[in-house]
Structure 1
């Protein structure tokens, strides 16, 4: 060791300063801050470059020590302890291994870390770990800073050993009584660490296991013993767990302290510890370490929000917000950080959406239409007030020069298809083509069957394009689309395949949009030049979700056609299944039909108690309903088999249809009056509501029977909501609360597949407040300066986000 810096003397000075209340003690020749600053400016050249730079930064801060608040002085001393501890640990581990003879495949970056530094060049990462981090969409240091924790564990409270309770998260400060590190006698590749710690209230045993030959080397084990000598004071943090030997800390972290008053400086001990979404091969410790390496870069971040805007909405500055959201000093600091970062998300999304609309030039439909009155005249029913209102909103959008981006949400049976056809006819009348894309062949055929009759009456051609379309017919459709001869095509994902070219695509209609990935939706839109976009969904959307959507306008069809009766919904235990069968027999005897829905196609070894559609079809036909005709429909059938099963049911050649959730959308049989759902607890609320919507489509009384043997509180609550309410919006709210939402910025969109920063806000009222302020701010900024020329930093951030979201023409 180079004697030009006495680490022990520095540690003693730090301990004395902490004991005396961080008062900048006067020594024989100089004050504490002067001594530390001078010492840290003279660190030996044998220190690693990273540590020398840390020392230089700390020395500069000690020059301002007298002006710092108490909390800042404590933090500075803590950071100095951490630096000296890291250096001492490196010295004990011995000299670094000799460099390899062959140069590494990927050269290490030796320059200082930057926001755009690729993670494979960050110390300790390398190509292999970088590849795993890429699965989390982490590619650069900036990505790491913007990868916010989904939760925090509070290790900030020190708990005496005698007061520990099972399941608690806690930090313990105690002395090491015994430290053993040895190779397992049963497994030479397993190293066991046993630690016994004691405070004034009791003792605690900690165990850790290391798999791998390198941990079995005597040198590594002796090094660990030197780091944690008997009598050393340590801080240990983890989750309290009861074992057969008593209480212990599970997944604990450990830090050596100078004395009981020492500030704990660990990234995972004695503080709020972040919890991140992970992937295979990336441990929590790995991610926390990486975040710790990148956090110093927050001081290089520029805050793109104008100061006037930030002050007006009382927002935390961006560098502080990012630092606090990862490792908050307090609950208040975390809450302020979440508000700022959630505001940023919705502000920029609204800003980019409005900016794109300003630059896009869409078709403008004719203010007066001749086709629409003709179409409405051939309908055998009158439009509801809600339908007329939504049609007016759509026509108003389509008469503008900016592309429409509107979502139409209507409960099951509310008449969304009729509304969509009016938009399609408006585009056709303006000389453009339209495309209607649905997620399944069943639903595409359902739309085609409805629309072809209307179009024939209007003298307009329409075609159906799916994966099962024969080659000759496919070539004919593609040719007609390319020449503009075909004004409307209905289809599945086949519409977005290569080779599908439109002459003048002016309107893209997407049904059940949540079943498509964002890339798939965007590829249809990109078939035209800034076409209008109309999205339809029967899956209820929570009010709190569509009110917080900053990029899309929403229309609600909140009125059902007259004559529809409420569906009687009942939750039944399996023991009352016979009552369900009796109801089905009575309905069939009166000329009606029934569905029986199951979650699986075939029996599963892992779910032996779950009835499968194939087995249940055979059982019902043979033993329960031998006098009735029982059909079967599931996702593994060929398109022709599915069509045959649906046609047979629609034409009343079968009385009962046993099916999986393939009937969730697109099967419209008004004569069906009973929906029996087996193992209903295995479905989400929105899905159950969709299934229930397959009945009640005629004028007869209909029934939905939810058969479930689950006794869990969550399952009972979910099924109870459906039994009590027919309101799709209320059901969607409860489903949102119970199941969460999908990743609204990535490619996933299901359940709780992704985490969003606004999820950390305390409640829905707080979410709405942040969103409304962000939306207002974005609109105000663009109204004052449409080009953002007055705000160059904001303009640069706008362009960065726009590029990042490129291709996401539909944000919802």
Structure 2
């Protein structure tokens, strides 16, 4: 078989020598194939636009005639400012260029020029970035911009790729099934590659992008759906068949009726538990949406089927609160609930472990103490992990392995946008509680400037005098020279001085030990501390129904989802609660975030906005989030294509045609080469 010329070293391309090839290799480009698949990260737009449609500070390209002699002013060492007037249609604007003195001799009155730069609408001025003499006809409307390094410039990168496509373009093979290409009217790979690197206009670029966006999403989703399919087929789980009558009696005995969303999610979970496959489900629900009750119903179903359940949570105090609320819910049943944390020691611990192994304990709630070697279950049927992203993959696996293929339910109060959930958790089933219990009071959110701190403190005082409590959140522990941010220690001192001992002010931050943090939180939860100054360590968990005020310093430094999580620490009791955002954001994005926070309490709306404003990278705060890096596709803007690709991938991996037909061979190879399955499984 003839070796594909695209696999030749990059030095085969005209203009690329040994020195350049070393720099390209550092960029991950070693072969001709790598080079032509090195996509632009953005495009320069040279489309001529009417200034009436251009927003302030937007980049624009205009064509016009020079209307005044250019003037040149020098300031500082080797610094100059060139200005000239330009007649653009009915507009007479000023063009300003820095350190462009060479242009003075090249510009003359009535000369046609095309200028690109940033438009200052107020001053009717363009800050010059690029200039072409004469009209722009010979210039493409859009030009690719590549990420480059060393001596390689964007222009030279354009030249190398152009040469590669000219000399090796005929070797580009189509590796996408004709059926799918025809279904969505997608360009061929050869055509799409040529356009992506050298589009004539926006419309052409759109078509090429469509091809690669769908391809990237489909290949990723195929791996996800195959992983899910084969995991399911190999993970024969426990079939849990609870007594439906007793389960319904328990649900009816709950102190409040289930919301429609809770009922739907309970059905999804019970359906999984009754199936012969192991459940692998993510349960998402905003703070206060009632995930605990749903998990309690699942645990009771496990108990009625003769199995034990384990609930793992990130902190001791949260474990205690869960154990207390579950004991209350199961008060009129024969369910035994136990608490296992690192505080349970000696004889008590030994006794508890014996009872757990003998099957006398039906539900155990604990921290990572649950995954220690000496913890043995009698018959573990259900594993629930709360705030699952707080635990490593390995920790979650150890707990799961303590049973023989138990059902697994992950819970999170971090509303994850649907696009992100189906990408990062594509191998899981996702359930969403998107409805709040009736009668729950909305938290009132206000945005205040730091200069209004006196009024905010008076408001805290008024609430505390009514017997309520308040959180005050700061982004950093101690001063940083780089960031002008209020820190927890300073704020604690300031509040102590301001309130002059009229009530107790606590301090909590990440430098405290786990025991110290637990002690502070305990004191706050029983109202021994009235105002708690803290960094974001209070973000998850702890239920203090008496806390009605949440003040967040430098709120513009947090993402929307994190602000929403912090806000969710209040509003857990019967009283009206308030969240005050102290912020003076300079950027439009920062101001937009503050506005959105005051307008909605819906975590899913906020999470979608957060994704738009910040991008998927920082959403989870950790790089181990499992969100893939796509070359061209963007999960936020291309979410419709993501949904389509997911549906197509699901149908493909569940059809015999996909696994047998020659047409899909290359797509199958992607799954096999990723190691999700091996080829012999297909025989």
Q: TM-score, normalised by structure 1?
A: 0.62
Q: Distance in 1 between matches of 2:500 and 2:421?
A: 45
* 1:261-288: CA deviation from partner (whole Å, max 9, x where unpaired): 9999xxxx99622344x89999878987
- Where 2:542 maps in the other structure, the secondary structure is coil
Q: Distance in 1 between matches of 2:510 and 2:271?
A: 40
Distance 1:473 1:572, change over 3 A: same
**1:414 offset after TM fit, Å?**
0.9
Q: Distance in 2 between matches of 1:744 and 1:641?
A: 29
| 1:698 and 2:595 matched | no
Q: Distance in 1 between matches of 2:212 and 2:435?
A: 38
Counterpart of 1:571 (choices 447, 452, 456) is: 447
Q: Distance in 2 between matches of 1:143 and 1:478?
A: 57
**1:593 offset after TM fit, Å?**
1.1
Q: Which residue of 1 aligns with 2:243?
A: 369
Give matches, 1:269-418, under 5 Å: 272-276=143-147, 302-359=173-230, 360=232, 361-369=235-243, 372-373=247-248, 376=251, 379-418=254-293
**1:339 offset after TM fit, Å?**
1.6
Q: Distance in 1 between matches of 2:498 and 2:617?
A: 42
Conserved 8 A contact 1:349-1:550: no
* 1:692-750: CA deviation from partner (whole Å, max 9, x where unpaired): 11111111111111122335433332112111222223222322222222389997268
Q: Which residue of 2 aligns with 1:512?
A: 387
Q: Which residue of 2 aligns with 1:767?
A: 639
Distance 1:477 1:348, change over 3 A: farther
Counterpart of 1:589 (choices 465, 489, 509) is: 465
Q: Distance in 2 between matches of 1:659 and 1:428?
A: 39
- Where 2:578 maps in the other structure, the secondary structure is strand
Q: Distance in 1 between matches of 2:540 and 2:282?
A: 18
Q: Distance in 1 between matches of 2:382 and 2:665?
A: 31
* 1:474-528: CA deviation from partner (whole Å, max 9, x where unpaired): 9999999999897666556677799989887654434334556778767876777
Gaps of 5+ in 1: 1-48, 55-82, 91-121, 158-165, 173-193, 204-235, 242-246, 255-259, 808-812
Distance 1:604 1:746, change over 3 A: closer
Conserved 8 A contact 1:155-1:273: no
Distance 1:604 1:168, change over 3 A: same
Q: Which residue of 1 aligns with 2:632?
A: 757
Distance 1:616 1:470, change over 3 A: farther
Q: Distance in 1 between matches of 2:317 and 2:144?
A: 49
Q: Distance in 1 between matches of 2:449 and 2:563?
A: 17
- Where 2:518 maps in the other structure, the secondary structure is helix
Distance 1:479 1:124, change over 3 A: farther
Distance 1:662 1:368, change over 3 A: same
Counterpart of 2:609 (choices 734, 742, 758) is: 734
**1:170 offset after TM fit, Å?**
8.4
Q: Which residue of 2 aligns with 1:722?
A: 597
* 1:48-68: CA deviation from partner (whole Å, max 9, x where unpaired): x989966xxxxxxxxxxxxxx
Conserved 8 A contact 1:153-1:273: yes
Conserved 8 A contact 1:362-1:532: no
Distance 1:733 1:756, change over 3 A: farther
**1:355 offset after TM fit, Å?**
3.0
* 1:752-798: CA deviation from partner (whole Å, max 9, x where unpaired): 9966633288x5xx632x2343234334434542661113x634533
Counterpart of 1:660 (choices 535, 539, 551) is: 535
Distance 1:482 1:578, change over 3 A: same
Q: Which residue of 2 aligns with 1:607?
A: 483
* 1:161-183: CA deviation from partner (whole Å, max 9, x where unpaired): xxxxx9969899xxxxxxxxxxx
Give matches, 1:446-595, under 5 Å: 446-451=321-326, 458-460=334-336, 462-464=338-340, 490=365, 507-514=382-389, 532-542=407-417, 545=420, 551-595=427-471
Give matches, 1:173-212, under 5 Å: 201=107
Q: Which residue of 2 aligns with 1:648?
A: 523
**1:534 offset after TM fit, Å?**
2.7
**1:542 offset after TM fit, Å?**
3.5
Distance 1:597 1:253, change over 3 A: same
Q: Distance in 2 between matches of 1:528 and 1:156?
A: 63
**1:629 offset after TM fit, Å?**
0.8
* 1:79-128: CA deviation from partner (whole Å, max 9, x where unpaired): xxxx4xx49xx8xxxxxxxxxxxxxxxxxxxxxxxxxxxxxxx98555x9
**1:615 offset after TM fit, Å?**
1.8
Distance 1:421 1:570, change over 3 A: same
Q: Which residue of 1 aligns with 2:75?
A: none
Q: Distance in 2 between matches of 1:512 and 1:397?
A: 21
Q: Distance in 2 between matches of 1:499 and 1:167?
A: 63
Q: Which residue of 1 aligns with 2:295?
A: 420
Distance 1:379 1:505, change over 3 A: same
Q: Distance in 2 between matches of 1:279 and 1:472?
A: 64
| 1:151 and 2:42 matched | yes
- Where 2:585 maps in the other structure, the secondary structure is coil
**1:670 offset after TM fit, Å?**
0.5
Work out which of the two has the higher radius of gyration on C-alpha atoms and give 1 or 2: 1
Q: Which residue of 2 aligns with 1:627?
A: 502
Distance 1:249 1:461, change over 3 A: same
Distance 1:785 1:479, change over 3 A: farther
Q: Distance in 1 between matches of 2:150 and 2:297?
A: 49
**1:603 offset after TM fit, Å?**
1.9
Q: Distance in 2 between matches of 1:152 and 1:533?
A: 45
Conserved 8 A contact 2:217-2:633: no
Conserved 8 A contact 1:150-1:760: no
- Where 1:368 maps in the other structure, the secondary structure is coil
- Where 2:272 maps in the other structure, the secondary structure is helix
Q: Number of residues paired by the alignment?
A: 617
Distance 1:804 1:652, change over 3 A: same
